[in-house]
Chain A
Amino acid sequence: GNSVTQMEGPVTLSEEAFLTINCTYTATGYPSLFWYVQYPGEGLQLLLKATKADDKGSNKGFEATYRKETTSFHLEKGSVQVSDSAVYFCALRSGAGGTSYGKLTFGQGTILTVHP
């Protein structure tokens, strides 16, 4: 079945540091890949997505590239801010075909804390 593995957290950085959160996946076919962000006490918000190999998703300074050869979708940001402190979830959605089409599978989440 499908699965998503994120790097162990929590991650603690100083403001303006470089961020990488690793995400690897296992899936059949051609899944779409997502990063969601959850601020304290809130629901999830879609941060960025990529729907095919070599696509780069980007939003609010965050980027992630769909690497089919390494089955990875690592999240990066060049200079984090205190306001980026949140929980980040990597997720995949199955491609067309099969009984699991459309279902989202999530990683366990990575807590990011950014200090001034």
Chain B
Amino acid sequence: DGGITQSPKYLFRKEGQNVTLSCEQNLNHDAMYWYRQDPGQGLRLIYYSQIVNDFQKGDIAEGYSVSREKKESFPLTVTSAQKNPTAFYLCASSIGGGSSEQYFGPGTRLTVT
């Protein structure tokens, strides 16, 4: 089945450690996205990538980094510079950028203590 995989579902880290969240898709989509979800708030865009080896900052990129070395993969690193990293992180992909539909993965809940 085609889809978007995020792993792990739950992730726990100590403050001051970097952590990388995985996102893989087998939909042959060109564009991929990372969103952050906090209680009582909508999703906010962290980074997006329209094509391999290219990515752009979203609205809340500070303290995060990404790479896009393969079409299928778009890992997100939450660095120690992110002041409030505990959140639910959602990855999405679309056939292209712009007007195409975005499909979401199941999410990773990150807790930093």
Classify chain B's interface size.
20 to 34
In the complex, A44 has a CB within 8 A of chain B: yes
Q: Please, which residues of chain A bring their CB within 8 A of the CB of B105?
A: 43
The interface bits of chain B over 43-80 (1 if a CB of A lies within 8 angstroms of the residue's CB, else 0) are 11100100000000010000000000000000000000
Q: Please, which residues of chain B bring their CB within 8 A of the CB of A49?
A: 101
In the complex, identify which listed stretch (A13-21, A63-71, A77-85, A98-106) lies at the interface while the others stay far away: A98-106
Which chain B residues numbered 61 to 113 have a C-beta less than 8 Å away from chain A?
90, 92, 97-99, 101-107
In the complex, A108 has a CB within 8 A of chain B: yes
Chain A contacts to B: CB under 8 angstroms? 4, 32, 36, 41-46, 49, 89, 91, 93, 96, 101-109
Using known A-B contacts A43-B105, A44-B90, determine if residue A4 contacts B42 with beta carbons closer than 8 Å. yes
Chain B contacts to A: CB under 8 angstroms? 4, 6, 9, 40-45, 48, 58, 90, 92, 97-99, 101-107
Q: Which of A45, A96, A101, A109 is in CB contact (< 8 Å) with B104?
A: A45
Quick check: A102 and B107 within 8 Å, CB to CB? Answer: no
Quick check: A106 and B42 within 8 Å, CB to CB? Answer: yes
- The minimal Cβ–Cβ distance linking A42 to chain B, given in whole angstroms, is 6
| Cα of A32 to Cα of B104 in the assembled complex, Å | 18
Quick check: B42 and A107 within 8 Å, CB to CB? Answer: yes
Quick check: B101 and A109 within 8 Å, CB to CB? Answer: no
Can you give 27 contacting A-B residue pairs, CB < 8 Å? Answer: A32-B99, A36-B104, A41-B106, A41-B107, A42-B106, A42-B107, A43-B4, A43-B90, A43-B104, A43-B106, A43-B107, A44-B43, A44-B104, A46-B101, A46-B102, A89-B43, A91-B42, A96-B98, A96-B99, A102-B98, A104-B45, A104-B102, A105-B42, A108-B41, A108-B42, A109-B40, A109-B41
